[in-house]
A and B are shown apart, each in its own frame.
Chain A
């Protein structure tokens, strides 16, 4: 972490960047927040630890409107999101200085099942093999690092950055699960079971839009669900249908653009596994139109804005 601060101060002091976009110490170890740092002193509050899961790429849309370059720290998976935004002309590469930071897997406080958490040792500079010691109001507990890791880190798409100006810090492989296993499990269910499963999950949705607002692919200036012009404006869920409509359409709008960064599932206050929607589309796209990783490059045709004359017919595989 220290090397990141040193480098950031250096670039800031040399005037090569006007500001730094990183993570700021919170009140607790686990509530670091994304933040802009404009001065070298303010960087003393900079933090990079196991709880810095937040993907900073989307903040670069606003950063691009400010004067001068912004130094941004991107984890490997964040760099895919940035690249996708670059492809869609939403960010200005000229106004970004990208330091690719290493990642050894990020933690979710919601996955640490203890009441009254005060301190999590081992989260400072995480190592996937570690056992976390958690001090709580009600005693000390332990949990393997991997058990507290975000879902996305178990199926990490790799520790290589796809866009950067320089690299800092080490990464460690965290993959220990099959990315599509859960999707496949659901696909094997009967329609009744599928319906019951999603109905149960989606009935929790409170339409807070956190999934949408955190999503780097959902970067519309005005979401179709916020605009009256499409006659689709909805605020709260009034029926179970609207939740479905919202999540289906949201997944559809980011299909072929979603990098599977997993932020939607990370932020959902109701713990809905929203990535299962996006990953279903990714799985279908891979199977039907060839392997595709959004954000991996800037040129190759995107699955929903291209075609072949021999594409599968809709409803393929139905009984």
Chain B
């Protein structure tokens, strides 16, 4: 019989205002095996923990239940407290009487009754808890960063600077990501390339960084400290070691009609290409869907002109397998598709563009060499209308419910840049709200309005109608004036919502990292663990976790790097002792459990078993506890109940069921 202590936390008034904590204590003392029960305003506080320590000693507790907040908050706290005081941490159970009780119920009698039942279930479970010892597993001192944008680059640099090896996997031909597509950055209006390129070069030349561009993560197995990752290096058809990046091949390539992804499809590129001039590595790739040689077998011009013989049409995809201790996801974002927003005439009129397209137009390396002109007729626009929140803060399924966060600022930037460079061009911005929290942000916005004469109209645009004369008639509304507005424009720019990169779902599945309804990766805790995924050893960097601007991204990238460094600095990791275990006397050796194990943790061996005097060789399941993550799939597959999960055993769960169903 366990000697169990029950500790009921008031959580200030969070619990005590709704649950009669004294009553819970009183009822706890009636439970079998409960030798001590007390309540305290803050069990998790220093003083609360001292009380627990005293109770453990005084009553020689061999088990304890804390009735408090969610185990996701303080289970670790109380387990450590128990351990410090000589009680195995796995003899501690939490009854969640805050999130699951006091916070959702109003009636005190009802909430108290429920709290008592939750306490009983926890006591019933503790009776069957076994003291468990965490095992150890080695840490592979190498990190993987998925995505080579500013988030990935910064994370990689910080990890590499700390002395650990790190690999970047980027699916595009070059690292650089979205930031490389931007012209200027707010609120300082410095050139994006000027601040990004040095980082790219630094990453490429860092002795601890290996960059795999034109590559994708194919498969992930293992667990924190011991991931095994297959990386698909897509066929580049250009020998990375031989190519000097002279660019002749791109000039000579006869297939020049492919849409230029880097310029958002606003112009074309050759079949063999580097996405932009500062690309790293400065080695082109051949677009197999456009290359005449690869499609028809005839051509071969690039090969002919390549002086170093770097072209290799026979190249195939290659899979390399690497070991990592930690993985950082930095897959970034894309703008949403606008096919559900027909009213803005995007796609109908060439002069309705997204803000990211405007970035390319305004960039000296862009399709118009940096001249602001209409894509339809090349004329300079005299009236430009910006429409905010296209697809952001949207209540229906056409767009996204969240604020994309960056649009207000970049629109102010665009407006300011245009007014500065083309003073005779009028700029009007239709907005719902202008959101400018951030250092020097509101000042920046006010400059756009006050110094640059940008016309901000609070109100939405219902329709953009292309006119026969090539202009665009914007049907808007001014909410402050309460009137309809019809505005003729030469160009309309849509502040299109951003969403996580489409590949993130696939990657999240491979990593068993969870994802929210908007496909943003979920952090382990929204406030306290914002750069960690709930999956141990997987960290989040940049917009894959939620909309953010460059400084925030860089800050998060650094934070993720610190977490990785903290992990890689350890030689051994404690493993979760709540793993599956087979009872050799009941195991049939039928292999069903191995079929459902996602970690390949179950194998079989034939060994001599003494079953109450009957000695025979039996095929028995063996669980590798370093690989087992404790999901329990095997336990239900096992018909005889031979396979059980420590910490969540059949008998423990049944005891909880029994305690709840009286």
Contact = CB atoms under 8 A, between A and B. Distances in A.
B588 A90 contact: yes
A181 interface: no
A253 B592 CA distance: 11
A224 B640 contact: yes
Contacts of A218: 639
Given A65-B616, A89-B591, A305-B592, A223 B640 contact: yes
Contacts of A90: 588-590
A221 B639 contact: no
Interface in B573-592: 583, 585-592
B585 A231 contact: no
Given A232-B641, A302-B592, 4 more contacts: A89-B604, A90-B588, A218-B639, A224-B641
A223 B641 CA distance: 8
Contacts of A231: 650-651, 654-655
A88 B591 contact: yes
Contacts of B88: none
B650 A229 contact: yes
A220 B595 contact: no
A138 interface: no
A89 B641 contact: no
B406 interface: no
A222 B583 CA distance: 11
A220 B586 contact: yes
Contact of A224 (B591, B592, B639): B639
A306 interface: yes
Contact of A221 (B586, B644, B654): B586
B596 interface: yes
B592 A221 contact: no
B585 A222 contact: yes
Given A220-B586, A223-B640, A224-B640, A88 B592 contact: yes
Interface string B606-624: 0000010000101100000
Interface of A: 65, 88-90, 218-224, 227, 229-232, 253-254, 301-302, 304-306
Given A89-B591, A90-B590, A230 B651 contact: yes
Interface of B: 583, 585-592, 595-596, 604, 611, 616, 618-619, 637, 639-642, 644, 650-651, 654-655
Nearest to A223: B640
Given A222-B640, A231-B651, A253-B639, A89 B589 contact: yes
Contact of A305 (B585, B589, B595, B642): B595
Contacts of B591: 88-89
A89 B606 CA distance: 11
Contacts of A306: 595
A300 B637 CA distance: 17
Contacts, number: 64
Given A223-B640, A231-B650, A302 B585 contact: no
Nearest to B592: A305
Contacts of B642: 222
B595 to A, nearest CB: 4
A229 B635 CA distance: 13
Contact of A88 (B585, B586, B590, B611): B590
Contact of A229 (B592, B637, B641): B641
A89 B590 contact: yes
A231 B641 CA distance: 10
A223 B637 CA distance: 14
A306 B597 CA distance: 11
B640 A89 contact: no
A95 to B, nearest CB: 13
A222 B639 CA distance: 10
12 contacts: A88-B588, A88-B591, A89-B589, A89-B591, A89-B604, A89-B619, A90-B589, A220-B586, A220-B588, A221-B611, A229-B641, A230-B654
Contacts of B583: 229
Contact of B585 (A219, A221, A253): A221
B613 to A, nearest CB: 14
B590 A229 contact: no
- Interface core residue of B583, B596, B641 (most chain A CB under 10 Å): B641
- List of 4 A-B pairs having minimum Cβ-Cβ separation, nearest first: A88-B590, A305-B595, A253-B639, A220-B640
Contacts of B589: 89-90
B637 A304 contact: yes
B258 to A, nearest CB: 33
Contacts of A65: 616
B586 A229 contact: yes
Nearest to B618: A221
Contacts of A302: 592, 595
Contacts of A221: 585-588, 611, 618, 640
Interface centre among B588, B611, B618, B637 (most CB of A within 10 A): B588
Most chain B CB within 10 A, of A90, A223, A229, is at A229
Contacts of B585: 221-222
A168 to B, nearest CB: 31
Contacts of A232: 641, 654
Nearest to A218: B639
Contacts of A229: 583, 586, 641, 644, 650-651
B1 to A, nearest CB: 17
Nearest to A219: B588
A230 B645 CA distance: 12
Contacts of B639: 218, 220, 224, 253-254
Contacts of A88: 588, 590-592
A220 B639 CA distance: 7
Given A89-B591, A221-B586, A227 B637 contact: no
Contacts of B590: 88-90
Nearest to B637: A305
Nearest to B611: A221
Contact of B641 (A227, A254, A301): A227
B285 to A, nearest CB: 32
A305 B588 contact: no
A288 B197 CA distance: 55
A302 B644 CA distance: 22
Nearest to B591: A89
B640 A227 contact: yes
